[in-house]
Every structure is written in structure tokens, then in C-alpha cells.
Amino acid sequence: MKKSERFLQLAMAILLGFPLLAHAADAKHGGEVYAEACADCHSVKEGKAKKGPSMFGIVGRQAGTVADFNYSDAMRQSKLSWAPDQLSAFLKAPKQKVPGTKMKLDGDLNDAEIADLIAYLSSLH
């Protein structure tokens, strides 16, 4: 494993509050989680929206700000920044984190899958 990959795993573990020994984030597996749970509604291509906005560059982006995407009022007004901890909380319980969101996923992913997914999304830039 490259030093940069190990650093990303450590950073994700710290940011998400996971003990590193319990689960080191795996971006490759996160791509598989994305394909299974997210790809029907979200694209990873920059500027390409589907039912949901593009996930390209999502980590660190302000929520509700992709141009030309029709967000729910709740998401536009959420004032969230998609830092890993905020993404994790949203993916665990979207309708609790942002009441009124259009997000269909509802607590379907476990903590390890979420950590892997965020590691994958962090690579999209």
C-alpha cells in the first residue's frame, strides 16, 4: 500500500471517528458501494446530474450548490458543507440530517460502507 493511500485511510478514520483497527477506509470498496447504492441517482462525472447532483468534487463542497440542479428547499437552506463527518451523518440518516431532502437512501449503509464510500468520493476531483 502506498503512503498516500495509508494516509487517506488514517485521515478518514480520524475524521469519521472510526478506530483505525476496526476499519480502515477502502476507496476501492467504496466504489463498489457507490455502484450499488448511489449510481442509479448520481453520476461521478463533473457537470452530469441524474435524479441527484453529480458527486464529482462533493467532499468539501457546500451542499445545494451544483449549478443547474433543482435541489429541495431543505437542501439549499441546509448550510451544510460536505466534510467527511457531515457526509457520514447525512448518509446514516438523510431525512433526519436534512428534513425535507429528496434523498432516497435512508440508513441503508453501515458505518464501514459509509467510510469506504466517503474514501471513494474523496478521490473524485
pTM: 0.80
At 55-111, the pLDDT tens digits run 999 999 999 999 889 999 999 999 999 999 999 999 999 999 999 999 988 878 999
Q: What is the pLDDT of residue 11?
A: 64
SS3 category, 62: strand
Q: What is the pLDDT of residue 21?
A: 45
Q: Could you tell me which residues come within 8 angstroms of residue 39 by beta carbon, excluding any fewer than 6 positions away?
A: none
Specify the CATH number for 27-122; select among 2.60.40.2550, 1.10.8.60, 3.40.50.620, 1.10.760.10. Answer: 1.10.760.10
Q: What is the pLDDT of residue 13?
A: 60
Q: What is the pLDDT of residue 83?
A: 95
CB count within 10 Å of CB 1 equals 7
More confident call, 95 vs 9? 95
CB count within 10 Å of CB 89 equals 17
